[in-house]
Amino acid sequence: MVYPLLLLISLIISSIAIPILQNFGIKKHLCDDPTGDVLKVHKKPIPYLGGIGIFLGLSSGLITARLFHQVSGLQAAGIIIGSIIILFLGFWDDLKWKKNSHPLIKLLCQFIAGFLIIFILLEIGVNFHFSINPILGALISAFYIVGAMNAINMQDGLDGIAGGVVGISLIAFSLLSFLSNNTFALILSLSLLGGVIGFLLYNWHPASIFMGDNGSHFLGFSLAVLAIMFTGHPIYNFPKFIGPVLIIGLPVLDTTWAIIRRTIQGKSPFQGDRGHLYDRLHQKGLSVQKTALICCSIQAIIVSIGFLLSA
């Protein structure tokens, strides 16, 4: 079968690309510099180009699947083009938004990118089963994409956590794709999973590279696409409406609580803080590795519930 090959190729390409991107980031000063930022945990500049390595892993998997005639050229090109749009959006965040732009401008740009992605998804044959109204379906899908991008971004605060929880979600989406005989979703899930594993080899504490906002946006977009593929109608099939959201899992729940918490405290929902679950665990004296393992364990439980509802 070609499917294990996709996972292996994407893992190899990602793990080879990451050290190259790491050196390039250091030379070109494309690093997350913690100087003057009280929210930063790391002590020295670390390259934030890991998202590109994951993307290269995904692309290699899709190209391999195309060579074996498992996906159409339109499907492969659609996902790759959509990913590039989101990566550039994330790079703008890495380079400019934090210093020069209002958070609402960021949110607006995310929704614009989300709607562009929706048109691409429609062109490559992704159906929105959760709505019989195409306009409403497009709005919900844009919300999924923007919400997932920000949810994964908020989990990228300690080494290994964002990549770890996304990897667990991708395992569940891979199993769900296999059981439902959804070839395209299976290829997408496995190609992403290989890229994420290759990245985690270098992002587990102590991390030598970060995924950056480009990577967190890209992974959030990718999980949203997979969730959209499996989301059922909220009235006729509520378990399959909520199940894919739970497969994304902890990032969704933690982000929802962060918005509620900040609003109650009179803060902007866009204002960063150190009140996430992983922050609280780390503040209690747990090491970064133990904190990441606990978060991944919680993610596994939530994802399992989502998988059972969706299967």
Residue whose tokens read 């509802």: 309
> What per-residue confidence (pLDDT) applies to 132?
67
pTM: 0.94
- Residue pLDDT tens, the chain, 311 long: 789 999 999 999 999 999 999 999 999 999 988 876 666 778 889 999 999 999 999 999 999 999 999 999 999 999 999 999 999 988 888 886 555 566 778 888 888 888 888 888 888 877 777 776 777 777 888 889 999 999 999 999 899 999 999 999 999 999 999 999 999 999 999 999 999 999 999 999 999 999 999 999 999 999 999 999 999 887 778 899 999 999 999 999 999 999 999 888 888 777 778 889 999 999 999 999 999 999 999 999 999 999 999 98
DSSP string, 9-36: HHHHHHHHHHHHHHHHHHHTT-EE--TT
Helical ranges in the chain per DSSP H: 3-27, 50-67, 73-92, 98-100, 103-123, 134-155, 161-179, 183-203, 212-230, 238-248, 250-264, 277-283, 288-310
Our count of domains for the chain comes to 1
Domain that holds residue 144: 3-310
Asked if residues 250 and 294 have their Cβ atoms less than 8 Å apart, the reply is: no
Torsion of CA 25, 13, 230, 125, to 10 degrees: 100
